[in-house]
Amino acid sequence: MAERFRNYIAGEWTDSASGRTFENRNPADHDDLIGEFPRSDEQDLSRAVESAKRGFEQWRRTPAPLRGDVLRRVGDLLTERKEEISRAMTREMGKVLNETRGDVQEGIDTAYYAAVEGRRLFGHTVPSELRDKWAMSYRRPIGVAGLITPFNFPLAIPTWKMFPALVCGNSVILKPAEDVPHTSTILVEVLIEAGLPPDVVQLVHGFGEEIGAAMVEHPEIPVISFTGSTAVGSQIGSVCGRMHKRLSLEMGGKNAQIVMPDAAMDLAIEGVLWGAFGTTGQRCTATSRLLLHDDIHDEFLDQLVDRASRLTLGSGLVDGNDVGPLINQASLDKVESYVEVAISEGDEIVTGGKRATGGALDRGYFFQPTILRGVKPGSRLACEEVFGPVLSVIRFSDLEHAFRINNEVKYGLSSSLYTTDVRASFRAMQDLDNGITYINAPTIGAEAHMPFGGVKQTGNGHREGGWEVYEFYSETKVCYVDYSGKLQRAQIDTYDI
């Protein structure tokens, strides 16, 4: 019998109202059934919203430093359970244990950062134009926040959204990706154990087209935060625009690592291996383009191919494996179809290019780390997000040329420049059209206390992480206090100095 997991609604672990479920299996081994999870719909959502509204009334009145204290305990509990959560995460998501430990650590860092923000949440007090009058602003919570999260960071991304939302005084409804429902189940257990009032958090499992869409369309969820594809983000954006909802979108990337001839070559090779094939390329920050200067192109590529072809594929739970599986069959099919596109566009496969098979690999969604050379700027492989272990190599002649190639895609999440030239580094920070630029580090690896997000089609102007996300989850309230005892008319009454 498969283990049966539940939603968390109105302070109880509960089945879906319809009784329907879906299966969660290990992407490295189809035979490994993790459990059955509720397939939720509008009925479950209605109950979750009613509870979250009660939770909001209670929580918005709880002093923010106390809200922060709950998050500090969450950080402590995640630290205690780090190894167990990492293993559960690798089992359902696939990436290797070292990476799932990093994912949990990102959640822990986000919790401790949030705990401290509970003692800040700064407003401003500024001079009034008038005498005996104060002018000030402070941050108020908004209401019920609907959080829709992807499969690739099963703990970190829910925490990026949830913890700031909670510290600001909102209640939250989390809809995790259907591929990774177990990790968020543990996260909600931890929140409750840490002392979060039960109505303040709701967990609804299920599919994007069903429960996810219902959340976006629900009139009593005024805030939506979504991480996922640009196509789905656009649909969500049109609904939220029509309903005047506050919306944060984190979407696709086509991130480039640029290598100049003066770079430390070994460092640049380590960087691209990690950026392109870590998390099996399933990060929105993944390095999916490698821009090599003409002078080093061939030599760099030879060494890189040698290293990439030696990466070991297999279950992320087994020590020594470097690269885990893709998340599911659809993802495997998509990656495979991009290799066909590459061939039709005349790109040359220099390593990989196929499903990885044989022995235990046959039971999972494994794809060989793949490098394509001769990819032409403007071609599909150079422009579209693959979300898998496929790296497109593009040549360039000088820095300006590399910047142009970097900037000509519709996405703008992260970029990276390897060089020892300080002028080139600062030019890159200024001219690369991305939300994040790394110098001498790969395109992945953002830190929890810094704003995270991208420009152009990657986002809609908001940032997760860092101090900025606290503005997203709160409204500015402005207050004036006039203690002059008389009517003072702004912009009309003037005083002699």
Catalytic residue set: 250, 284
326 CB contacts (<8 Å, ≥6 apart)? 27, 94, 280, 282, 332, 335, 365, 366, 367, 388
Site string for ligand UN1, 13-52 (x = CB under 6 A): ----------------------------------------
Q: Given the complex with ligand UN1, which of 16 and 280 has the nearer CB atom?
A: 280
Placement of tokens 């009032």 in the chain: 197
Note whether 444 binds ligand UN1 by CB under 6 A: yes
Of 56, 59, 113, 153, the one binding ligand UN1 by CB under 6 A: 153
One residue of 26, 110, 152, 434 binding ligand UN1 per CB under 6 A: 152
Q: Of 221, 66, 245, whose CA–CA distance to 143 is shortest?
A: 221
**Looking at beta carbons only, is 224 or 361 nearer to ligand UN1?**
224
Other CB atoms within 10 A of residue 224 CB: 26
Q: How many residues touch ligand UN1 (CB under 6 A)?
A: 10
Give me the least distance between CB of 109 and ligand UN1, in Å please.
10
* C-beta of 237 vs 377, nearer to ligand UN1: 237
Q: Angle at which helices 82-93 and 181-193 pack, to 10 degrees? A: 160
In the complex, minimum distance from the CB of residue 113 to ligand UN1, in angstroms, rounded to a whole number: 14
Q: Does 469 bind ligand UN1 (CB under 6 A)?
A: no
Nearer to ligand UN1, 342 or 446 (CB): 446
Q: Cβ 71 to ligand UN1, closest distance in Å?
A: 19
Cβ proximity of 30 and 361 under 8 Å: no
Contact 15, 83 (CB under 8 A): no
CB-wise, 67 or 283, nearer to ligand UN1? 283
Given the complex with ligand UN1, which of 32 and 384 has the nearer CB atom?
384
Output the smallest distance, CB 106 to ligand UN1, in A: 6
Question: Which residues ranging from 100 to 129 are in contact with ligand UN1 (CB under 6 A)?
Answer: 106
159 versus 419: smaller Cβ distance to ligand UN1: 159
Output the smallest distance, CB 6 to ligand UN1, in A: 27
x/- site string to ligand UN1, residues 170 to 189, per CB under 6 A? Answer: --------------------
Q: State which residue, 123 or 445, has the beta carbon closest to ligand UN1.
A: 445
Q: Using CB under 6 A as the criterion, what x/- string covers residues 269-308 for binding ligand UN1?
A: --------------xxx-----------------------
Residue 488: how many CB atoms within 10 A of its CB? 17
Between residues 366 and 452, which has the closer beta carbon with respect to ligand UN1?
452
446 binds ligand UN1 (CB under 6 A): yes
Pick the binder of ligand UN1 from 65, 123, 197, 445 (CB under 6 A). 445
338 binds ligand UN1 (CB under 6 A): no
Residue with tokens 């399933």: 282
Report, in Å, the least distance between residue 489 CB and ligand UN1: 51
Q: Does 65 bind ligand UN1 (CB under 6 A)?
A: no
Contact between 95 and ligand UN1 per CB under 6 A: no
Distances 259 to 251, 263, 289, 389, 431 between C-alpha atoms, Å: 26, 7, 11, 20, 16
**Does residue 225 belong to the site contacting ligand UN1 (CB under 6 A)?**
no
Residues in touch with ligand UN1 (CB under 6 A): 106, 152-153, 227, 283-285, 444-446
